[in-house]
Structure 1
C-alpha cells in the first residue's frame, strides 16, 4: 500500500485472481474497486463509465470526472485522467484499484492511459495490475522511484504443504506424501494443475496411479486432466457447464435460461466443488469461469454440436434484453451472427446514445455486421455513418455518407437525412465547401418534399431537426470559410427553428454564435451566448460532453480581445480538450490559433499543430500572427509570412500589412493601401472599425496631422469602449499606445486600462519559482484574494470543482505553501498577484 502500484504477472491458472481476492477480503478496512478486464474494455467510453461506476460502488462520495474523453483516438485522455486523479485525491480513507486480466487489452491505448494514471494517483490510492504476460510498460522507473511491488510465478507456486492442503480439500481423501511431492514437482506448483489433479483424484480409485500418469505441466495437464474431470461428471451437469461456457458471465437467472437447471443451487455447487468458477467482484451474484476451463468447455460444445453455440447465445441475448442489458444483448446477437436481429435492435437506439457519448459503440456494432448484410439495410448504413461522425471519425463518416448518396437507392427521406448529416461533418473536414453544398441541397430537398417519410435514427432525424441541423451546419461552414456575416445570418436562422430546443445541439449552436461575435468584437453578445450555452450544458449534465467546445473557445477569444488572456486560460484548455474529444479538427485549429494569438513568439507551440490543414479563417489568423511577429522583431513587411489570397474588404491581415508600413515610417504607402481597400462600417462587427481607425490615426500622426490623428484615436476608443475591446490597441504596439496617451490624454477608464495593460504586457515579475505556473494556474491564482469558494470559482469558470482543486494543489506545491492565505502572501511577494485586486470575472 505504500507504493502506487503492485504488479502480479504469471501464466493462466497460477492463482493471481484467487490471491488478490483473498487479499482484498482480508482487508475490510480498505475499499477495493475490482475490474475484470475483457476485450470490450478496449472501448474508451464504455471503460470510462465502468471505471467511474466501479469506484463509485465502493466509494459513494466519488465525484465523477467532468472532463471529456479522447474517445475518437481510442483513449481516455490526459484531461479525464487528471480529473479522475483529482477526484480520487478527495476521498477519505484508502482505495485499491484492481485491474485483472490486463493482457486482454495489451497494446491498446486504454492500457497506456492506465499506466499514465499510476503516475497521477494520490497517496491514498493503490493500483494492482494483474496479467498473464509482462505488459512491457517500462517497470524500471517505478522500481526505482516507487519501490514497485512485483509478484510473479515463482512467488505464486505451491510448495508441498500447500499442495497437500489443496488436494485434501478438493479430493476429500488423504493422499500420500510421495503423491503430493510428485504433484508439486510435475506441476511445478502451478495452482490450476494442482486443482485439476485434485479433482481427478476425487473420482479415482487409486490416487497414486493417477499421479504417476501425469505427463507434464501447463496446457498438457489442462487438456488431460480437464477431460478426466469432465468425463467423470454426470452427463446433465457436464451439458449444463458446456452450455454456460458460451457467455462471459452468469447469474442464477441466466443459468436457468441457458442450462435449464436451478440457477442458485447450481452455482453454489460449482463453488463448493472448486469447479473453476470465480465471483465477479463488481457485480454481486455474477460469476465467470476460469478462462482455460471455459476454453475447454467451448471446445467440447463445438465438437459435440456445432450449431448449439448460436442458439445458446440467442437465448442469452433474449434474457439480457428482458433484463434491460441492451449492450450485452447486442454483443451476443452479433456473436451468434444473428445480423437481422442485431440491426433491428441497434436501430431502436435513442438520443441517449449521443447524449451519453456512446455513439462509438453503435458504430462498432454495425461495423461487425458483414458489409453485404448492411448493404440491404440502408437505415443501418445511415446510422453507422451518423455514429461514426458523432464519435469523432469524421472522415470515415463523410466517405460513408457520400458513398450512400452516390450509389445507394435512397428514398427521398433517407436522402434528406444523408445530406443533413453530411453537412454536419463540416466540423471534421479541412475543406468546408462541399458541406456548404450539402447543407443547401438538404434544405432545398426538405422544402421540396415536406411529407417524405424519414427513418427514425437515434431520435435525431425528424424533419424540423434535419432543417435545424442543415442550417446550423451551413452557419458553421461559413465560420470556417471566414464569412462571419453569412455565419451570423445562418446561425440566427437556425436558432429560430424548432430543432433548437434539443439541448446538446442548442449548446453547440449558441457556442458557434458566440464564436462569431467574439471574433467580430461584439464581446458582450459573445459572453451572453457562451454563458447561456455553458449554463444550459451545466443544467443538462453536458459540461463533459464535446458540445460546449465552441462556447469555451468563444470565452477564450473574449478574454484575448479584452486584453486579459490569462482570464481565458481555463476556458481555452477546456475548449481544446472538448474539440479533441471527438476530433473536430476545425475547432482544434481555432484553439491552436488562440494560443498563438496570446503568445505569437511561442515557436515550440507553432510546430505542434492539429491534424490536417487549417480552415480559411485560421489560415488568415496564422498569416496575421506571422506578420505581427515580423513587425515586432523589427523587420520590414517584405520579410513577412507567405501570401494569402484576400478580398479587397478589410481584414486583420490588412491591419498588419499597414501597421508594418507605418512601423517602417512609410505613411504615404500606408495611406495609399488604406484607400485601395473597400470598407463599409458594420455595427455587428466593431473590431474592423476599431482597427481601421487605429491605423488611420497612426498614419495621420506620422504625417504630422495631429488633430486628425486625435479624432481617429478618439473614434477608435469610443467604438471599442462599450465592448472593452483592448486587443487592437495592444496588438498595434507601444508606439500606438504612446500616441493614444499623448493625443487623448487617457481621459476615460477604458483608455487608462489600455495604457496600463500595454505598459505591463510582456514584462515578467521577478519570480523565484523552480517551476513556473501555467496560464490556467495563474488564472485561478487571481481568484484567491476574492475569497470566492472553490464551488464559486468552478461555477464562474464552468469547470468541475475537481478541476479547480487539482490546479490549486499544483499552485500550492509550486509556491511551496500549504493553503490559500499562504499562497496569496507568497504570490504577492513574487509579483504574481496584487492582493488588493479581486479577480476580473466578467
Structure 2
C-alpha cells in the first residue's frame, strides 16, 4: 500500500474561498453520494482539499483516496478503499480484506462484509459522519468497479457518505439516485469561477493588478475554467504586453492548454524544463526516485521549488516528501516528451523500475519495466512475485501483467506459461491452453536450479499435471482427467497438500462421471481431507457440496445431510470469508430437505442463501439455487414460478469442472410432463437426442429417465398407442448399470419407474412387485419422499394398492407397505378425499362425495394459503409471509375458491372446516 495515496492534499496557497460550493458539499450529508464531475483543470481536488481542511467542520471523519490507473483492478481498488476508510475508522474492513485475498475474489461479498462493518461501527463507536472521498475516479472507472460501487452505495448506512471526483460521469445509476433525491451534484457549471472569483484570483492571489475590462475578457474567454486562468496568470507574470496577450488569448480548452503550457515551459530555465519532462513518466514523485530517473541529485530541492512556484505539483503528504503533477499538466508534459525525446522514454521507465525494485515495490517495478518495453525484466520480476501473489490469492494482478507481456516473453517462462494457460481456461478459452502447458514444460527443462521462485519450479510438474486434469475435465475427457490426476499425485510431494487434494478431487470427479459412485466417494473424501490439511477451508467446504451429491447418488441422503450440516457449521463460524461456501451448503441442504418431504426446511435454506446468490459473484454453482427454488415452488403448487426459475437457471448455467449429471433442460422437461405439456417434453427429447435404444451411461442417465417419464405419460394419454414400446429394455439396462456401480439412489428411481411403466401398460401385478422393491430398496427409505410423490396421482394409486394388498411385500418384511403408508400420509389422504365441488354439481340423487378419481385436491401451497386465510392477516400480509407477490396470492386464492366451490374468504374457511382441511 502506498500510504501517500491516502493523504489529504494540502490546501492550495491562495485558494479563493467558495462558500457556495461548500454549502453544496454540506448537502451531501443528506445523501449517499456527492458527485463532483467536470473536465480536467476545474479545481475539483483543490475544492475538496479546502473543504476537508475546514476547521469549523468537526462533525465528520474523512477518508481520502487519490486514485490513478494502477488502481483499475477491482482487488487493488477495494483494498485501497478499505485502507482509506481505516484512516477515519480504525479497524474497519478486516473481513473484507480477508475476502479480497481469495481467488477469484467475490467482490459483492467483500462489499457486504465492508458495509456491515461500517454499519456496526456507525451505530456503536463513531458519533460523527464518515466521508469517503475518491479523487480522480475516472482513472479507474470500469464495468467491474462500477458494479461494485453501485452495490456499495446502495447499501451504505446513513452515517456514511461518498464523494466522487471525476472528469467524466461514472458508470453508475445516477438517474435513479437523482430521482430518489439521493445524489448531490457539483458540475463544471458550478465549478466555473464567477466574475468576482476570477477577479479575486487574478488580482488578489496572482497579484496581476488587471483592469476590470481585462479581468472580464479573461473570464469570458476561459468561461471560468480554473486551470486556464492559472496558466494565463503564469504566462502573464513579468510580461510587458499584458493587453496584447489578453487580446490574443482565444480558442477551446485543448488549444488553450497547449498554448499556455508551451508558454510556461518556454519561460522555464533549461534545468527546470528538463526535470519536468524527464519525470513526467512517473505517477508519483519523490526526491530519490526523481534522482534515479533523471541522473541528477537535486530532486528534493526541485520539487520544493516547483511547489513554491505553483507549477502544477500537488503535495501528497504533510512532510512534502511525495508529490504528483496536476494530471492535465502531466499529460501535456508526456506529450511534449514523446515529441522531443521519444528514444529516451524507455530508459526513464527502466530506471524507475530498478528504483522501485530496490525499494520493494514489485508492482510498480513491473509496471515501469513494461512501460520501458523491457519485457524480459518484467517477466523476471513477475516470476519473483509469483509465490507472494499465489499465497495472497492475487491472481488478478498476475493476470494483468500477463495480458501486458508479449507472447514470446511468456513462453520463455515456465511459471508464467502455466499460469497463463490457467487464465485462458478460467476465461473459457480452451483452444490454446494445451500449448501453454507444453511451453511451460519446455521452459522448465531449460531453467537453472538458481532461477527465480525455486519452490514454485519444484512443484511445477505436479502443478502442470493438475492443470491438464482440469482441462480434460472441462472438455469432458474422463479418461484424460484420470490419467493426468494420477500423474499429479505421483509428482506431488507428500507435503504438497493442495496439489494432492486437487488431483484427488479430479480423480473422484472422473469416477463419478463414469458412474462408479463407490470409487468416487472414497477418492473425493480423501481429496477433501487433503484440502483440509492444506488449510484451504473455503475449497474444503465448497467441495463438501459435491461430496453430498455423490452420497445422494449412492442412495444415502441422510449421510449427505450429515456432512453438509457439519460443513455449514464450520462455514458459519468462519464469518464473512465463508459466505460463498455457506450459500452453496444451504442450497444443497434445501435439496436434501425437499427430497425428505420437509418443504419448510427447504424453503428456509433457500432464503438463507438468497442474498448471496442474487448479489454475489457469478459462480459455477449459482444456477443450482434457481433449480432448487423451482422444485420447491412446484411442490407448493406454483408451476408458473417454477418454470420461471428454471428459465433463469438455464441462462445462468455454465459448463465447468463438475460432471453435468442433472441437465437443466431435462429438469424443465420433467416439469412440463408433470403439468401435462407433452409436446414440450417431446420437443426436449428431440433436441436432446434421447432414445430408448441408447446404451446405459451415467452421464445420460438423467436424460434417459426423463425420456421414460415422457413416454409413460404419452402411453397414459393414448392407451392404445405404443409410446412405451422399448421403455422396459432401456430401464433394464439402466438398472443393471446402476446396480453394478453401487448407485442405490438410481436403483430406487429406476424400479419406481418400472412400476409406473407396467401400470401404464396394464400389467398391474408386475407394477405392484416393482414398486414394493423400490419402496424397500433404499438404505434410508424415510429420506426418499419426493422421489415417489413427484409422480402425482398415478403413484398415489399405486401406493394405496400396496397398503391394501401387502401380499407382494412379503419379501421385504412389510417395509414397503409401511413406507407407502408414510408417503400417503405426507402427500395425500390414505382414503378417497372428499370431492371439492358444490352440491349443484353433483349427480341427481347422489348421497355421498365423489370418488377419489374425481378429486382435485388442494396443493401444498394452496393449503398454506388456506391456513393463513383462516386468520386476521390481510392479503398483502399473507403474501409477505409466504414470500410471494400479491398477484400470485390472488391466483392461489382463486384456485382455492374454485376447488371449494365458494366465492369468498369466509365461505372458503367454512367449507374447508367442513371438509376437515383445517
TM over 0.5: yes
Once the 2 structures are TM-superposed, how far is the Cα of residue 9 of structure 1 from its aligned partner? Answer: 2.8
* 2:695 is the alignment partner of 1:633: no
Alpha carbons 1:252, 1:285 under 8 Å: kept: yes
Q: How does 1:498-577 map to 2 (within 5 A)?
A: 501=534, 503=536, 505-507=539-541, 509-530=543-564, 543=577, 554-563=588-597, 564=599, 565-569=602-606, 573=610
Inter-partner Cα distance in structure 2 for 1:311 and 1:671: 78
Change (3 A) 1:204 1:406: closer
Alpha carbons 2:481, 2:510 under 8 Å: kept: no
Change (3 A) 1:230 1:366: same
Among 217, 231, 246, the alignment partner of 1:196 is 231
Deviations 1:30-70 (A, max 9, x none): 23344444334442232233333333432336444599799
Q: Which residue of the partner structure matches residue 823 of structure 1?
A: none
* 2:659 is the alignment partner of 1:610: no
Once the 2 structures are TM-superposed, how far is the Cα of residue 673 of structure 1 from its aligned partner? Answer: 7.2
Q: Which residue of the partner structure matches residue 688 of structure 1?
A: 746
Once the 2 structures are TM-superposed, how far is the Cα of residue 388 of structure 1 from its aligned partner? Answer: 4.3
Inter-partner Cα distance in structure 2 for 1:446 and 1:718: 34
Structure of greater Rg: 2
Name stretches of at least 5 consecutive residues in structure 2 with no aligned partner: 1-27, 446-457, 805-813, 829-857, 869-873, 885-908, 910-918
Change (3 A) 1:761 1:255: farther
Alpha carbons 1:66, 1:83 under 8 Å: kept: no
* 2:476 is the alignment partner of 1:432: yes
* 2:45 is the alignment partner of 1:22: no
After alignment, is 368-377 or 251-260 more displaced? 251-260
Q: Which residue of the partner structure matches residue 473 of structure 1?
A: 506
Name stretches of at least 5 consecutive residues in structure 1 with no aligned partner: 455-459, 779-830, 832-842
Deviations 1:392-439 (A, max 9, x none): 31425x623345439984667966643421322467x4x421x64154
Q: Which residue of the partner structure matches residue 802 of structure 1?
A: none
Inter-partner Cα distance in structure 1 for 2:144 and 2:157: 22
Once the 2 structures are TM-superposed, how far is the Cα of residue 440 of structure 1 from its aligned partner? Answer: 0.6
Alpha carbons 2:64, 2:133 under 8 Å: kept: yes
Among 740, 751, 764, the alignment partner of 1:703 is 764
Change (3 A) 1:407 1:204: same
Inter-partner Cα distance in structure 1 for 2:679 and 2:262: 85
Inter-partner Cα distance in structure 2 for 1:283 and 1:705: 91
Q: Which residue of the partner structure matches residue 21 of structure 2?
A: none
Report SS of the residue matched to 2:133: strand
Among 766, 778, 791, the alignment partner of 1:732 is 791
Inter-partner Cα distance in structure 2 for 1:691 and 1:66: 47
Among 258, 261, 274, the alignment partner of 1:226 is 261
Deviations 1:523-574 (A, max 9, x none): 3443454456566667888835977886565444333433342133156558
Q: Which residue of the partner structure matches residue 68 of structure 2?
A: 38
Q: How does 1:759-774 map to 2 (within 5 A)?
A: 761-763=860-862, 764-765=864-865, 766=868, 768-769=875-876
Q: Which residue of the partner structure matches residue 735 of structure 2?
A: 678
Q: Which residue of the partner structure matches residue 383 of structure 2?
A: 347
Alpha carbons 1:362, 1:387 under 8 Å: kept: no
Q: How does 1:128-277 map to 2 (within 5 A)?
A: 128-134=163-169, 139-146=174-181, 148-168=183-203, 171-172=206-207, 174-204=209-239, 207-208=242-243, 210-216=245-251, 218-251=253-286, 254-255=289-290, 257-258=292-293, 267-277=303-313
Corresponding residue pairs, total: 756
Report SS of the residue matched to 2:346: helix
Report SS of the residue matched to 2:432: helix
Alpha carbons 1:15, 1:192 under 8 Å: kept: yes
Alpha carbons 1:66, 1:543 under 8 Å: kept: no
Q: Which residue of the partner structure matches residue 464 of structure 2?
A: 418
Inter-partner Cα distance in structure 2 for 1:510 and 1:128: 43
Among 330, 339, 342, the alignment partner of 1:306 is 342
Alpha carbons 2:135, 2:164 under 8 Å: kept: yes
Once the 2 structures are TM-superposed, how far is the Cα of residue 633 of structure 1 from its aligned partner? Answer: 3.4
Report SS of the residue matched to 2:200: helix
Once the 2 structures are TM-superposed, how far is the Cα of residue 697 of structure 1 from its aligned partner? Answer: 7.3
After alignment, is 404-413 or 687-696 more displaced? 404-413
Once the 2 structures are TM-superposed, how far is the Cα of residue 343 of structure 1 from its aligned partner? Answer: 0.8
Among 404, 407, 411, the alignment partner of 1:368 is 404
Alpha carbons 1:417, 1:461 under 8 Å: kept: no
Change (3 A) 1:318 1:199: same
* 2:418 is the alignment partner of 1:377: no
Inter-partner Cα distance in structure 1 for 2:766 and 2:86: 71
Q: Which residue of the partner structure matches residue 317 of structure 1?
A: 353
Change (3 A) 1:178 1:136: same
Deviations 1:13-32 (A, max 9, x none): 11122223323333442233
Alpha carbons 1:39, 1:105 under 8 Å: kept: yes
Report SS of the residue matched to 1:278: strand
Deviations 1:653-684 (A, max 9, x none): 66666667777778999888765653465896
Q: How does 1:649-668 map to 2 (within 5 A)?
A: none
Once the 2 structures are TM-superposed, how far is the Cα of residue 293 of structure 1 from its aligned partner? Answer: 0.7
Once the 2 structures are TM-superposed, how far is the Cα of residue 137 of structure 1 from its aligned partner? Answer: 5.8
Inter-partner Cα distance in structure 2 for 1:310 and 1:636: 68
Change (3 A) 1:681 1:333: same
Deviations 1:307-329 (A, max 9, x none): 44333333333343344332222
Report SS of the residue matched to 1:158: coil
Change (3 A) 1:186 1:660: closer
Inter-partner Cα distance in structure 1 for 2:216 and 2:679: 89
RMSD: 4.9
* 2:44 is the alignment partner of 1:4: no
Alpha carbons 2:31, 2:182 under 8 Å: kept: yes
Change (3 A) 1:293 1:285: same
Deviations 1:347-405 (A, max 9, x none): 1234553464421321220221112333333442222223444xx31425x62334543
Instruction: Give me the TM-score of the superposition, normalised by structure 2.
Output: 0.69
Change (3 A) 1:580 1:502: same
Deviations 1:144-177 (A, max 9, x none): 3326433322222213332233234653554443
Once the 2 structures are TM-superposed, how far is the Cα of residue 334 of structure 1 from its aligned partner? Answer: 1.2
Q: Which residue of the partner structure matches residue 5 of structure 2?
A: none
